[in-house]
Structure 1
């Protein structure tokens, strides 16, 4: 391992390896050159942004892929490159939105690079109140090419009900290596009660529990719908919530008409009380 390595030497070695192997895990590239993965990731992002390497970094698999690596000619002098101009922060746009997915808040943030230069080493840091549990508050994007955008996803588990504001910060470097930061405008997120979590129960547990629970039944006429489609639509709807399926059955009644039944169970996070949902579809009564 070299005790000292200049940036130019590191970039040269990365290009040599990329030209020879085309695809390689970031960890192996790090071991070969004796530098950290974060340094490899940052230098690769700058090389891709400066078009010295035509390729991309797959953050999920931690793999680097190079399509081509231009060679400098020994007989002809390389044309003088234009001096990189620092990016105008006004050309970097950040948009955000959210929805609910399986009892969690799904926060979506997109970084749009409207400048004519690539930005690299982009870090999206989420700033959420303490009443949310965030598994991964920081997501890195190696490079965003000019006139391109990249989106990242955060999943937040609410601990209490109420209204909160969620914001954050985007940090990035431009082609000159200058660091910039932009605030993510806060988004108001409303969490309605009750907060629920999945509850692993048996059908026997549910049938005993409903004896002491209030009945909040609703019936819907499905005369114009295929009862099978209505049943499946109801199942898909329940799967959008943080609840566990206990049992389900599709069959026929004594008249030979279609009927189906499914049970779901969840538990309130604060009080611990059960919430039991039963779906029943009958072709005979044309109801759900």
Structure 2
């Protein structure tokens, strides 16, 4: 008994000269919690954490409710949210001093959407219990989606406008700007809103205000956008019956305007016409990169259509001489036709291939205009450096995406001996094995068929199928047959030619005197891996 008393697990009391013993509830509870945690038992926590969100005024109101279900008070309660880059929040941590038994308290976080998309919002609630021990409970992840509706032009009459302003809750955003006049800020904001295919009902270059109307293409919900600009702030009000759609639309507009403002602030030049072309190229290129990355993530057709529609309108305004609009419009129409159907892997890859082609066009366009600008105007080195860095960033991102695309489409590579038609080495980029002898025999037969028809040796370079392509490249002794799930680009072409050269250099004697013994080439994999990877 004495050790228990000394450790204060047992309390010794005395009443009327009689010794009484009592279990120390506080110490006992701590021991119970400690042992439970060590042996893996779930410790009963004194709180319940609930969370929910709704759409308010163009923002997300995220509510966390903490309920004390214990028989004792808890205190020093901290609610800490883990916010993704998709949102901005003024305070990600809020505190509650104390909660008595059976009390609950809700705290609200106002999340400002910065872009469309889906993100998990989660966090931790930490607190101190009645015994002075600190604990934490998880705010379980909840997927918050900011969906940007695809819109189309629709002119509303004045009565409809008045009804919308009276009936619908307004979603509002204010975008600060610096380093430019209200006139330039107004033009930037107006151009970005116009690029979404909304109808301009009225506008004033004197008051820097404009009113646009349209409707969501899928739900047919009417939309009203009110733009005004003063000395430091761009203000946008969106009226829409569906707050979820309004929040997504407002986030999308805000993102477009912020991108344009960033580039406009970076490039201050004396020749507005040329600098605007360069600025438009940087902005357009960034949107192309975002579209490429959406394809890489295999996002829904709805997500792709929103950006493609924007690019279609802007390409006609920014680069009419490049003829991009008709190609982009073709993609918009094709994807819109299959909006409710399954989208194949090859469709994403074909779109990425065309995006890279468009990127190539606008990079040449930007570099050409930059050269004209540098040669014809006296500019400061700081501005020149910013334009140079913008072009370099555009080019670097382009090269990176070209490599990503190339790696994504590689399926298999066969090295075929030209004289015998036998596959001497086969390399799979996926975990699927192909019958290399069957395919090499098929390719040899097709090539022989072409020679038979033309009555002379015919060189076959490519076979295209619905979901894959076969690209043929020849050396002195071998033909490389690359099977890919998309159209091969120049990066792949250079890689294959290098593989042929190094393979023939290493195995020249074996290839020249080939006897059908393919085991002589079994170590050739490192040549391919060194070049491809």
Q: Which structure has the larger Rg? A: 2
TM-score class, shorter-chain normalisation, is 0.3 to 0.5
Please state which structure has a larger fraction of its residues in helix: 2
Report which structure shows greater RCO (CA 8 Å, sep ≥6). Answer: 1
Higher strand share: 1
TM-score by length of 2: 0.26
